[in-house]
Amino acid sequence: MSSADIKSLGSFVWSIAELLRGDFKQSEYGKVVLPFVVLRRLDCILEQTKPAVLEMAATLPEDMDDEARDTLLSGVVGQHIQLYNLSRFTFASLKGQDVKDIQKNLIDYITKFSGNVRDIFLDKFLFTDQLKRLNDAGLLYQVFDRFTQIDLHPDAISNIEMGYLFEDLIRRFSEISNETAGEHYTPREVIRLIVSLLLINDRDALTGSGVIRQVYDPAAGTGGMLSIAEMEMKALNDRIRVELFGQELNPESFAICKSDMLVTGHNPENIAFGNTLTQDAHNGKRFHYMLSNPPYGVDWKKYADPIREEAETLGKEGRFGAGLPRISDGQLLFLQHMISKMRNDEQGSRIGIVMNGSPLFTGGAGSGESEIRRWMLENDWVEAIIALPTDLFYNTGIQTYVWLLTNRKDPARRGKVQLIDASGEQFWKSMRKSLGSKRREIPEEATEEIARIYHDMLNGNSGWEDVSKIFDTTDFGYREIRVERPLKLAFEVTEERLEALCEAKPFQKLDEDAQRRVLEALQTLPAGKRWIDRGDFDKALTAALKASGVKVGAPVKKAILSALSERDEEAQVCTDKNGNPEPDTELRDHELVPLNEDWRTYVQREVLPFVPDAWVDETYTDAQDGGVGRVGYEINFNRYFYKYVPPRPLEEIDAELKALEAEIAGLLQEVVE
């Protein structure tokens, strides 16, 4: 079936949703249409073998073990399909029944599926509730009848094409439901790119007989990534055994994914329902390949307590020991979860994950994000990061990036990270018609070229100077050192400063008599005199208070010194009791020193020529290595691939403005006339 046919089929199914207008909210259309699509798909698959299944079921003893019964009846269906239906109805036979009985008969149909399918319709789709609403609205038979007109048998529409159909429908439902940008579905060409990048270095290892590979997606959605990964692996080796695993939080998406596993012969129990971050359904499992497009820009506040508890209790023995990102974005939690599932054997694991730009640079030294990047880079797991074109996804046009990680790097890649800027126009083409925010797509030849650039480790050569660059992992690290400058204060007693003292909290805590006596003591100091040495002023202040018989505590004295002072570059440096200069917190600065450079050399070159009195606070150290300064990591694509674009000539801009003025004047003239 061509892409045009898929779109035509999607439009037909969408037209069925239009029947619901008025009786259902737009956001509820998917809850009716998606389960009907799944039901019709299963009906088309099971219709031919239905008589044989019913005949076999009639011969089985009532007390037979459920697992044995399921095995026998699914075997009658054949083709490794792990489901069956014991209702006497099919879509075709239901059309011949009394219209008034359609709800009852459809419920009989879905409740007589094997248990693994009943769960999909009853617990995840909550389909009986929708059937009742449709029946009460007088719409049930109309909707059912329209679905009988669609042939969804695998001979007519393959599993991959079904994925396209679901993708198209879910995109439409997401648009009218105003889904957030982070709750998106991955276009098939993006999945193919990720899979190509994951497999291109493993082609030899995937050939031959007896090869078994396990693939995992922790945010499986409708299973598109898993399906395409299997398809591409079997294209390399039709004898390979691919086992698919996943977990999904959205009930409808989970139901679609699980039903796809059922009809393609995979173990449906490998697809789990629930929150991957708080309820790891595959705890202890390890996988050869992992790929995912987790939600981005979506907070994890609701799940924060168990995640923090795991991080604190298990540390790096658990999934989140490297660090926790800010509460507003959980992408790096998914990535850490995937890393925890890397295999520790010779084959190791490979990870492909698509995320937005935030995980590259958000968070300074010591932050959760920076510590996670540090953990990945210092363990040398990051192999490559590819910047994708904008406007690829259906409900967000933002820039996205594919991260490739592995714990079995080739020797040539050890200690290295390849950055590929595939956002340029040579890697995408405009779509004839936009689909939501999706205005561009990656053509097949561009996918092949990106994979080749990655495979060949091109490093600013072979005509790709502005596209591919290779760095040492330490190139992304830095030490954030704290640069201090001395505190220089001048003191003077003025009316304004005395008013400021009266506003200070320590001073206000004194009783009225004590406040009066302090102010009188301060007014005995020479009017108009300016002290540029704090030590001298302190002596004068102490003498004045003593002469007035006023005793004040340290907080009040500190408030006096603060209120009567101002910063003055001409003043003497303030020192502590050991004679060391005190730092001025307002002048404090932080410098980012490249990790592969000694901070002393950096300060000599970049700091002291401009502020000779500055010094580095050597007590400001890194929690992990104890070195001066805090270690941070960031990957700034713009810095490495920045292309200067000169401003347009003023003459060109001026000519354009004059042309616009003339056009506006002409339009105004037409209005006047």
8-51 residue pLDDT tens: 888 888 889 889 988 998 888 889 999 999 999 999 999 999 99
Classified as helix, coil or strand, 164 is helix
Contact 388, 400 (CB under 8 A): yes
* Burial label, 92 (beta-carbon count in 10 A; 0-12, 13-18, 19+): exposed
Which band of pLDDT confidence, cut at 50, 70 and 90, is reported for residue 184? Answer: low
317-319-320 Cα angle (round to 5)? 100
The distance from CA 662 to its chain's CA centroid, rounded to whole angstroms, is 48
Q: Which two tokens stand for residue 550?
A: 């006023």
Contact 616, 603 (CB under 8 A): yes
Res 297 pLDDT > 80: no
Q: 549 — phi, psi (to 5°)? A: 70, 30
- pLDDT of the residue at 4: 62
- Candidates 322, 302, 303; CA nearest to 311 is 322
Which band of pLDDT confidence, cut at 50, 70 and 90, is reported for residue 463? Answer: low
Cβ-proximal residues to 78 (8 Å cutoff; 6+ apart), any chain: 49
- Candidates 475, 483, 482; CA nearest to 596 is 475
- pLDDT of the residue at 3: 61
Which band of pLDDT confidence, cut at 50, 70 and 90, is reported for residue 387? Answer: very high
- pLDDT of the residue at 181: 41
- pLDDT of the residue at 161: 85
Tens of pLDDT, residues 581-629: 999 999 999 999 999 999 999 999 999 999 999 999 999 999 999 999 9
Classified as helix, coil or strand, 278 is coil
Q: Which two tokens stand for residue 168?
A: 């198209």
- pLDDT of the residue at 527: 86
Query: What's the one-letter identity of residue 170?
Result: I
As a whole number of angstroms, the distance between CA 152 and CA 38 comes to 9
Q: 459 — phi, psi (to 5°)? A: -130, 80
Four-point Cα dihedral 447, 229, 218, 364, nearest 10: -20
Tokens 């660059």 — which residue? 469
As a whole number of angstroms, the distance between CA 355 and CA 292 comes to 9
SS3 content of the chain, % helix, strand, coil (to 5): 45, 15, 35
Q: Please give the average per-residue pLDDT across 646-656, as a whole number.
A: 86
As a whole number of angstroms, the distance between CA 569 and CA 456 comes to 58
**Consecutive H or E run containing 400:** strand 400-406
Of the segments 180-189, 545-554, 594-603, 643-652, which one has the largest average pLDDT value?
A: 594-603
CATH topology of domain 180-211+286-457: Rossmann fold (3.40.50)
Tokens 């009195």 — which residue? 613
102-103-105 Cα angle (round to 5)? 65
Inter-axis angle of helices 495-503 and 512-522, nearest 10: 150
Mean pLDDT check: name the lowest of 241-250, 367-376, 465-474, 646-655: 646-655
Q: Please give the average per-residue pLDDT across 146-167, as a whole number.
A: 88
Res 223 pLDDT > 50: yes
241 pairs with which residues across the strands?
A: 212
As a whole number of angstroms, the distance between CA 417 and CA 443 comes to 26
Pairwise pLDDT comparison (264 vs 314), residue with the higher score: 314
What sign does the CA torsion over 636, 363, 319, 334 have?
A: negative
Which band of pLDDT confidence, cut at 50, 70 and 90, is reported for residue 462? Answer: low
Pairwise pLDDT comparison (196 vs 458), residue with the higher score: 196
Q: 555 — phi, psi (to 5°)? A: -60, -40
As a whole number of angstroms, the distance between CA 40 and CA 438 comes to 29
- Candidates 561, 570, 410; CA nearest to 492 is 561
As a whole number of angstroms, the distance between CA 443 and CA 264 comes to 28
Q: Which two tokens stand for residue 187?
A: 């276009």
Pairwise pLDDT comparison (338 vs 650), residue with the higher score: 338
Longest dimension (CA), the chain: 114
Give the strand pairing for 429-435 and 350-356. Answer: unpaired
Which band of pLDDT confidence, cut at 50, 70 and 90, is reported for residue 673? Answer: low
Res 382 pLDDT > 50: yes
479 pairs with which residues across the strands?
A: 593, 631
Contact 581, 485 (CB under 8 A): no
Tens of pLDDT, residues 302-319: 999 999 999 999 998 999
As a whole number of angstroms, the distance between CA 40 and CA 90 comes to 9
Q: Please report, rounded to a whole number, the percentage of residues in the chain having pLDDT higher than 90.
A: 71
DSSP-derived letter for residue 286 is: -
- pLDDT of the residue at 151: 92
Report the predicted TM-score, pTM, of the whole model to 2 decimal places: 0.86
Tens of pLDDT, residues 501-549: 999 999 999 999 999 999 999 999 998 899 999 999 999 999 999 998 8
- pLDDT of the residue at 55: 93
Please report, for residues 190, 265, 479, 637, the alpha-carbon distance to residue 358 in angstroms, rounded to integers and kept in the order given: 19, 38, 21, 12
- pLDDT of the residue at 96: 83
- pLDDT of the residue at 448: 95
Contact 394, 431 (CB under 8 A): no
Which band of pLDDT confidence, cut at 50, 70 and 90, is reported for residue 182? Answer: very low
- Candidates 377, 374, 415; CA nearest to 625 is 374
Res 385 pLDDT > 90: yes
- pLDDT of the residue at 289: 98
Contact 248, 121 (CB under 8 A): no
Which band of pLDDT confidence, cut at 50, 70 and 90, is reported for residue 178? Answer: low
